[in-house]
Each structure stands twice: as structure tokens, then as C-alpha cells.
């Protein structure tokens, strides 16, 4: 049964003046409050007349009740609500629209679409919508971090330098030794290439015989062996001691770029409307992904521990208010075995949260009294105090089992060295087999030639 059916049923079973008389009891006015559980802004364990509401908006209800002699009938509407194509509304605003509630109690962005049937309060508290992301480790474990100490262009330049320098050195030696015709040029070039590679890693070798080649050798030793490779050693040590941080998700556009990433958002919230009517194609595409994945739901759904576990494993992100995310993430951090939650640096949307008063069921005087009292609470600093009690500049949290061992040198950081050793050993074995085959072929040829002679 929807809200319109409930309204018709009440009209049939209750005279127009009976509810108004029911609202007045011992000079106390009963206000019907359309709300839902959304910690830490508002939360309750039961509904109905006299139900207690906690959180920021619970403090507001208590202040209004004590100063203006109000009692409250709490209605759990599930979500904020959205406008349907036929002009009706769902959720908390649906209750206001069909006169089933007098006031909404949920952090809502100011919008003109509610004004035909509701009066907007002044701004009560600042609200930031952020992306909550997570990861099991803050640092990269790259098996080839040793190699990536230098970028690919540096390694390519070094390889070209080895080839070119080996060619020049071998050519110089070959020209000087040409009268003797001792070693072929190709053999000289190959030998010098291997010598240069060994010299890169500061391998001790005898200096060349000729002064001209020694001068060339000194230039190589100074520029490459001494300067470049000492730089490499320092960079490698630094990269092992201070591991690079994994790439973060710092904006909603980063979420769009990760096509396999799920995005959970509160149903009927401002972020849903923003993405649905986004000015950029990527924003609307992200909304279609959310609809396709079915990741829109109530606060109880999107803040479930299973979803938080998905966030820590970097498979899911959540967009909601910073305050609400802090309230659900901090307790989970205290029990999860590893990882962290973090807030994206770029805020998705920010606004001053307001509540709405029904134009139909509340007279102008009652609305004026409520708005005046809210203004007084704001000017007196109580709203700021209550907001500070539940919010704050939350940036994330770490598992309580986190320690500095995440930054220490681990076996995974040395995997690259084993891989390099394995690859070079495999290449050496292939070369060994090739050389054995060549030597056997040469020995066979020599035997045949000897037999012929």
C-alpha cells in the first residue's frame, strides 16, 4: 500500500477535525516526522508517538519539543524520496506531499522542487559528499621495482650506449692491432660489450693496453659506472626503504575510469539526481552503470559490513556524506585484519543541510515558530556544537593491526632479483646448448677434413 492509499484510508476512517483535535493534548502539539535511519544524523529503534530519535536531528527535535511544546510521531519512510512521472513523490517527501507528515527530518540539499508543498528551513549544517575507497595495503609490491628505479628511456639509452661504445672501442683496438690480425672485429665488439656490461656493475677488469682506448674507458667509467650507477644504487635503496604508494581514487571521475569498480549510493539522494542529470556524458554513463549493477539502496544496504569488506578489497566504493561514512567506517577499521579506508581528496558535492515543513498541515504561525527557533539555535552556536559532535574532517582510518612492517623490506620486494637471475640463467643455458652444438659441428667438420686429407 502506498502513501496515497494510506491517506485515503485515513480520510475514510477519520473526520477532518479529529486529527487536529488529536494533535492538541494538554497544550502540546503533535508533529508527524518523516525520517529514516541515517547515522549519525538521525537514528531510532522504534517508530510512532513518543519514539526517541538520536543524532544531530534528534537534538533538534528535543530542542523544538521542549521550547515549543511539541510531541513527535516518528514515521520511517526509508529514503528521502523522488518525484515520479505522474507528479507524486516517494519516501519522506511523499509523506509530506500527501499530508501524512508535517516535517522531514533528514539532511537535504536546498532545492526549488520541494517548494510547492514544503517550506525550507535555513541551513542547519554543512554537508560534504565524498567517495569512500579502500585498499588492503597502502604501498605497492612491485616484483620489478629494482628495474623500475630507472625509467624505460634511461635503460634504452644505456643499452644503446653499450652497443655504440663497444663498437667504437673495438674499432679502435682493431685498427691499432690490424697489422697483427689477431682477433676478428666482431669478436672484439662482443667481448667489449660484455666487459662494458660488467663494468656497469663495477666489475673489476684490467685496463686496455692503449692510451687512446684507456681515455675512452675512463670517460665510460666516470659517466656510467661511477655517476649513473651510484645514482641507481641510491634510488634503489630509497625505493626499497620508502615504497611507492598505490594509486588512489581521488575523484568521482577516477571511479568512472575504473570500469569494473562498483559504486554504491543512497537511494533518492542528491548524488543520484546529480549523476542522472549530469552535464557530462561520463557522469550519465556512470549513473547507467549504477542502475545496471543495482547498487542504489538504503543506508542499511550500502553501509552493510559485506559492502565495507568489498571496499577494503578495492572492488567497491561508496558515495555518501563524510560524517555518515566516518561513523560506519571507524568501527569496521577496529576489527578488520588489514587495510585502510580513505576519503577521496576531491569532494563530490557540498551543501548546507536543511529540513522541510509542510505547507498544508502546518499553519503559518507554527512554521514561523519552528523557523525562528532553528535560527536561534544556529545563532546561539548549538547547531555548530551538535554538528561538531557527529562530524569532523574525517580522512580515513587504518586497521588496528596496521604497523610499520608494511614499510619494511619484504620477500616480495626481492622477487624481481630472482626473476632476473632466472631469466639470465635460462638465456645462459640456451647459449650453452647453442655453443655445444656449434662446437660439435666444427669438430665433425675438422674430422671430415682430416679424413679427406
Give pLDDT tens digits for 27-43.
678 999 999 998 888 99
Q: Is the dihedral of CA 158, 160, 161, 162 positive or negative?
A: positive
Task: Kindly state whether residues 220 and 259 are assigned to the same domain.
Answer: no
pTM above threshold 0.75: no
Those residues with Cβ within 8 angstroms of residue 415's Cβ, 6 or more apart along the chain or in another chain: 143
CA distance 96 to 76: 13
pLDDT at 342 over 80: yes
pLDDT at 233 over 50: yes
Instruction: Give the model's pLDDT for residue 226.
Output: 63
The range of the structural domain enclosing residue 432 comes to 414-441
Instruction: Give the residue-averaged pLDDT of 274-296.
Output: 92
Task: Kindly state whether residues 227 and 279 are assigned to the same domain.
Answer: no
Choose the final residue of a domain: 218, 242, 266.
242
Instruction: Give the residue-averaged pLDDT of 7-23.
Output: 39
Contact 358/262 with Cβ under 8 angstroms? no
Instruction: Give the model's pLDDT for residue 384.
Output: 87
Task: Kindly state whether residues 373 and 426 are assigned to the same domain.
Answer: no
Instruction: Give the model's pLDDT for residue 213.
Output: 66
Instruction: Give the model's pLDDT for residue 61.
Output: 93
Q: Compare 191 and 416 and report the one with higher pLDDT.
A: 191
Q: Helix, strand, coil proportions of the chain in percent (round to 5)?
A: 50, 15, 30
Q: What percent of the chain has pLDDT over 70?
A: 73
Task: Kindly state whether residues 101 and 74 are assigned to the same domain.
Answer: yes
Task: Kindly state whether residues 273 and 397 are assigned to the same domain.
Answer: yes
Task: Kindly state whether residues 331 and 260 are assigned to the same domain.
Answer: yes
Does residue 101 sit within a domain? Answer: yes
Task: Kindly state whether residues 151 and 201 are assigned to the same domain.
Answer: yes
Residue 270: which of 45, 93, 53 has the closest Cα?
93
Task: Kindly state whether residues 14 and 120 are assigned to the same domain.
Answer: yes
pLDDT at 70 over 70: yes
Does residue 446 sit within a domain? Answer: no
Instruction: Give the residue-averaged pLDDT of 416-443.
Output: 75
Question: Confidence band (pLDDT; 50, 70, 90) for 398?
Answer: confident
Question: Confidence band (pLDDT; 50, 70, 90) for 450?
Answer: low
Q: Compare 233 and 406 and report the one with higher pLDDT.
A: 233
Task: Kindly state whether residues 226 and 285 are assigned to the same domain.
Answer: no
pLDDT at 434 over 50: yes
Amino acid at each position: 500500500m502506498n502513501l496515497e492509499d494510506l491517506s485515503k484510508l485515513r480520510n475514510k476512517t477519520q473526520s477532518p477535525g479529529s486529527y487536529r483535535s488529536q494533535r492538541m493534548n494538554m497544550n502540546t502539539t503533535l508533529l508527524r516526522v518523516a525520517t529514516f535511519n541515517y547515522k549519525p544524523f538521525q537514528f531510532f529503534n522504534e517508530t510512532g508517538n513518543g519514539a526517541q530519535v538520536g543524532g544531530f536531528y534528534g537534538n533538534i527535535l528535543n530542542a523544538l519539543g521542549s521550547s515549543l511544546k511539541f510531541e513527535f510521531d516518528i514515521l520511517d519512510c526509508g529514503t528521502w524520496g523522488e518525484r515520479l512521472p505522474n507528479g507524486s513523490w516517494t519516501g519522506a517527501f511523499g509523506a509530506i506531499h500527501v499530508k501524512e507528515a508535517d516535517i522531514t527530518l533528514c539532511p537535504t540539499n536546498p532545492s526549488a522542487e520541494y517548494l510547492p508543498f514544503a517550506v525550507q528551513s535555513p541551513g542547519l549544517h554543512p554537508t560534504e559528499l565524498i567517495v569512500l575507497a579502500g585498499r588492503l595495503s597502502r604501498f605497492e609490491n612491485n616484483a620489478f621495482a629494482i628495474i623500475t628505479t630507472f625509467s624505460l628511456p634511461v635503460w634504452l639509452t644505456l643499452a644503446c650506449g653499450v652497443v655504440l661504445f663497444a663498437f667504437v672501442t673495438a674499432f679502435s683496438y682493431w685498427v691499432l692491432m690490424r697489422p697483427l690480425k689477431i682477433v676478428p672485429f666482431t669478436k672484439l665488439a662482443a667481448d667489449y660489450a660484455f666487459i662494458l656490461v660488467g663494468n656497469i656493475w663495477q666489475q673489476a677488469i684490467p685496463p686496455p693496453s692503449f692510451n687512446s682506448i684507456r681515455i675512452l674507458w675512463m670517460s665510460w667509467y666516470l659517466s656510467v659506472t661511477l655517476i649513473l650507477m651510484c645514482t641507481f644504487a641510491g634510488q634503489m635503496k630509497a625505493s626499497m626503504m620508502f615504497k611507492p604508494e598505490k594509486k588512489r581514487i581521488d575523484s568521482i571521475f577516477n571511479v568512472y575510469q575504473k570500469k569494473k569498480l562498483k559504486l554504491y549510493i543512497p537511494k533518492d539522494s542528491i548524488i543520484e539526481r546529480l549523476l542522472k542529470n549530469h552535464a557530462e556524458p561520463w557522469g550519465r554513463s556512470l549513473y547507467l552503470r549504477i542502475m545496471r549493477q543495482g547498487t542504489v539502496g538504503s543506508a542499511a544496504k550500502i553501509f552493510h559490513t559485506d559492502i565495507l569488506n568489498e571496499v577494503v578489497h578495492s572492488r567497491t566504493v561508496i558515495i555518501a556524506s563524510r560524517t555518515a561514512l566516518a561513523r560506519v567506517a571507524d568501527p569496521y577499521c577496529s576489527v578488520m585484519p588489514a587495510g585502510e579506508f580513505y576519503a577521496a581528496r576531491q569532494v563530490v558535492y557540498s551543501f548546507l543541510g536543511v529540513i522541510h515543513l509542510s505547507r498544508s498541515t502546518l499553519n503559518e504561525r507554527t512554521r514561523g515558530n519552528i523557523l525562528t527557533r532553528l535560527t536561534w539555535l544556529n545563532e546561539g552556536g548549538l547547531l555548530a556544537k551538535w554538528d561538531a559532535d557527529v562530524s569532523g574532517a574525517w580522512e580515513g582510518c587504518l586497521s588496528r593491526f596496521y604497523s610499520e612492517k608494511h614499510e619494511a623490506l619484504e620477500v616480495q620486494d626481492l622477487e624481481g632479483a630472482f626473476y632476473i637471475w632466472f631469466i639470465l640463467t635460462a638465456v645462459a643455458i640456451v647459449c650453452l646448448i647453442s655453443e655445444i652444438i656449434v662446437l660439435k659441428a666444427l669438430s665433425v667438420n675438422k674430422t671430415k677434413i682430416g679424413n679427406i686429407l
